[in-house]
Amino acid sequence: MGQFGTLLDHMEAAETIRNAVARVAALRQATVSTASLHDATRAVKSFQAKRFAGTYADLLASPEYASAARFFLDDLYSDRDYSLRDAQFARIAGGLQRLFPKQVVATAVTMAQLHVLTEEMDRKMAEAWLGYPFPQDTDTVRRYLACWLLVGRESDRNLQLEMVLQVGAELDRLTRTPGLRMMLRMMRKPASAAGLGSLQNFLESGFDIFAQMSGKGQRAREFLDTIRRRESVWIRRLSDPLSITNEADLRACVTSALS
């Protein structure tokens, strides 16, 4: 199941999810308690969402890939508040295999781990954003580039990408699990009664979106390969302080997202 989805047993899964959610909650609480840091975090997340929308403008406009690209943008790259879904992850941690099909457990674990790393990286970027030495400069492209280089951690950015791709690959595999869609549908009322509606919606949406891509997994792999190629290029280029085209290219990318 891969480096990030390995699951020895449900006890290990429960502990991983609880620890991850607790870490994310602590980071968010510390951020919310400081207004300037909270604003900086929102600015960073908003910029990153625009960069993603610009990078994948063609996929977002594609009949074949639009739903998958929108799912990634809204559920993995946006500045939305995921605290409700994360709290639900924590609540089901001890009963994962009772409340959800076992095939779903690895996806929940990977999502929890991804949220920790994402929150930590966004926190570092927000701190750099606040420490930007030219506070009167309103150019968010220059500011973001400077913060990226200051934070560094290129290996963690690549790890973050691998975890995003792992979530996608696991959702794709779920679509080829016999009977799982019916099982998910039957879980709607129990999940809602247990206060797990947000998590249930995420799982159903991800399942349906990947199932809609034709080709028995080929389209999904093509989509994920596109994400890998484009994100890898951005990570490599933005981490290179000697690149002379980064600012212009990044500016063009976010501008295209706004048009």
In the block, which residue shows the tokens 């030219």? 134
What's the pLDDT tens digit per position in 129-183?
Answer: 999 988 788 899 999 999 999 999 999 999 999 998 988 888 888 777 766 666 6
DSSP 16-31: HHHHHHHHHHHHHHHH
* Two tokens, residue 195: 């206060």
Higher pLDDT, 23 or 214: 23
Q: Is the pLDDT of residue 27 over 90?
A: no
The reported pLDDT for the residue numbered 94 is: 56
Q: What CA–CA distance (Å, rounded) separates 234 from 252?
A: 13
In the block, which residue shows the tokens 């290219």? 249
DSSP 224-255: HHHHHHHHHHHHHHHT-TT-SSHHHHHHHHHH
Write down the mean pLDDT value for the chain.
Answer: 80
The reported pLDDT for the residue numbered 235 is: 96
Distances (CA, A) of 133 to 42, 128, 243, 244, 256: 19, 9, 21, 21, 28
The reported pLDDT for the residue numbered 211 is: 76
Q: What CA–CA distance (Å, rounded) separates 234 from 226?
A: 12
- CB burial of 65-101 (b: ≥16 within 10 Å; e: otherwise) equals bebbbbbbbebbbbeeebbebbbbbbbbbbebbebbb
Q: At what angle do helices 140-151 and 102-130 cross, to 10 degrees?
A: 110
Q: Is the pLDDT of residue 83 over 70?
A: no
In the block, which residue shows the tokens 């190629």? 229
